[in-house]
Structures are given as structure tokens and as C-alpha cells.
Amino acid sequence: MVTTALAGRAAVRRGAVRRRSEAAVGVLLLAPSLLIIFGVVLYPAAFAGYLSVLNLHIGRPGVAFVGLQNYVRLLSLPEFWRSVGRGLVWTAGSLGPQVVLGLALASLLNYPGLRARVLYRGLVTLPWLVPTVTVAIIWRWMFHDVYGVINAVLMGLGITDHPIPWLADPDLAMAAVIVANVWRGLPLMVVLFLAALQSIPRDLYDAAEMDGASPWQRYLRVILPQLAPVVWIAAVLRTIWTFNFFDLPWIMTHGGPGEATTIPPVYAYLVTFSGYRLSEGAAVTVVMFAILVVFALLYFRLSPEDEHAPAR
């Protein structure tokens, strides 16, 4: 019995050593990803929070702790709230067409009778593969009031008899930038929705058809309910990405004309690198982060309960 007890304790020790070794290997495998997350996300966020409570200003000597003074001043500035309002318009204007057109194109590409479906599925992803800088330059040229192809087409069709200054008109600049962003982000929506459509069991279609449902009824009562979780998640992700999107509006308009396309990321850039107010710019980014956190909490609050429930 003593020998058996010793053998049991030895087996327990070997098991503990093996588990510690596996844990160490797991930590080593995760270490590169954790370092990247720390260096790219956590450290910059913490440093921005640190800067936001100082009065750091390029060109002015001395740095002092000012607490929440930058936030109080920021929240009292009308131009900041105007940028938030434009950010909401920019986000909603980009998201709505992407969802609607994404559903339409994904349904078309999923249609069995469509010829060369594989070719069209490859072509629809091309805008997503083009770098954002290239997309912005192309669309800026297309919207040019003198040399742009869009004005040339409109004038050729007789829709207008004079060039339209798309990016120089405060009433049209935001719409032009939104069009470019819709074109840029639409392929992602199409791919997500198409993958969700292909995962719907064929039995549901057959059952609805046997019940006498029309194609439109089958789409509304069978397909859309199955797509709802994917549409919800895609909309949330695109909302976060779009609200934080800096590259496209900055390259196309630099936030102009005037403040017409100055959304919060552009506003933060202008405050930081044009106004040289580093601490106030950091405060803008922290407030943007807080807005997105509130939005994420609302997402989890309003999403269906069974969507986040653990599998049984």
C-alpha cells in the first residue's frame, strides 16, 4: 500500500508538472500577440489618458497637471459637438447604404441561376483590397469639379449644364465622402452576408416553398430572420470602424470646406497637430473612446439574449 501511495503521489506530481509546462507553452505562444496588443492598443490608450490631464502645448514651456480641465473646456466647445454631430451623420450615412446594398448584392450573388457567380464574387471584393489612400485619391479625382469623371457623365447625360463643385461645396462635401466610404466598405458587408446566406439550411427554403410562400415572403420570413444576428454584428463593427475612420475624409477634404467634413478623428488631428494642443487632442480621443464604449454597452444591452448565451 505504501508503494501504491508513493506511485499515486508521483503521478499527481507528474500531472502538475505537465500542466505547468502546458501553461508555460500557452503563455509563450500568446506572448507575441499580447505584446502587439499592449504596444498598439493598451499603451497608446493609457498614454493618451495621461496626456489628457496635462497642459502640454507645443511651443509653450512647462507641463503641469490640470486634472479634468481639458475635458471641461472640450465639452463646452460648440465646434467639438458639431464634429460629433457630423460624425453621427457620417456614420449613419455610410452604414445604411452598406447594409441595404450589401444584402441586395449578397442575395444576388447567392442566386443559383446567376451565371459566372464565382467571377462576380471575386470582382465584388476588389474595392476592399485597394488601399484607403488610393481609394481617397481616386474618388477625389472623380469628384473634381473640372476634370472629374462624375461631372463629365452628369453633363454628358444632360442632368446638369455646369460642373458641380462636390468637394468645395459645404452642402455636398459630406455626401461625396460618404459615397466614397460606401464604395470602400461595401465588399465586407457583401462577403459577411453571403457567408451567412450560404449557411442557411436548404430545408428551410423547401419548407417555405411547400407552404406556398412566394419568393418575397420566403426572403422576409425565412432569410432575413436567419441573417439578423449577422447583420447586427456587422452593423456594430462597421459603426465603430466608421466613427473612428480618419484616412478617407482627411485625404479627400482635410476636414473642409470649412468644417463640413470635420468628424471627431479629423477634429482630434487638427487640435493636436495643427493647433499644437497635445493634451486637448488627447482629451478628444478619450471622449471618442468613451462614446464608443457607451455604444458597445448599448449593443450588448439591446442584442438578443440568446446571442451571447453559452452553448449548452
Does a structural domain hold residue 303? Answer: yes
Reported as a single tens digit per residue, the pLDDT across 265-274 is: 999 999 988 8
CATH number (domain holding residue 260): 1.10.3720.10
Reported as a single tens digit per residue, the pLDDT across 181-195 is: 999 999 999 999 998
Give the residue carrying C-alpha cell 468645395. 168
Does a structural domain hold residue 215? Answer: yes
Q: Which residues pair with 65 in a beta bridge?
A: 54
Q: Name the residue range of residue 272's domain.
A: 78-307
Q: Which amino acid is at 137?
A: I
Query: All 3 cell numbers of residue 2?
Result: 505504501
Reported as a single tens digit per residue, the pLDDT across 130-154 is: 899 999 999 999 999 888 899 999 9
Cα(70)–Cα(51) distance, rounded to whole angstroms? 10
Does a structural domain hold residue 260? Answer: yes
Q: Are 271 and 277 in contact (CB under 8 A)?
A: yes
Reported as a single tens digit per residue, the pLDDT across 250-263 is: 999 999 898 999 99
Number of domains composing the chain: 1
Got the DSSP string for 111-135? -TT-TTHHHHHHHHTHHHHS-HHHH
Does a structural domain hold residue 106? Answer: yes
Does a structural domain hold residue 98? Answer: yes
Q: Are 66 and 304 in contact (CB under 8 A)?
A: no
Long-range contacts of 213-222 (CB under 8 A, 24+ apart): 219/107
Does a structural domain hold residue 7? Answer: no
In terms of C-beta density within 10 A (0-12 exposed, 13-18 middle, 19 or more buried), how is residue 295 classed?
middle
Does a structural domain hold residue 53? Answer: no
Does a structural domain hold residue 122? Answer: yes
Cα(231)–Cα(99) distance, rounded to whole angstroms? 7
pTM of the model: 0.83
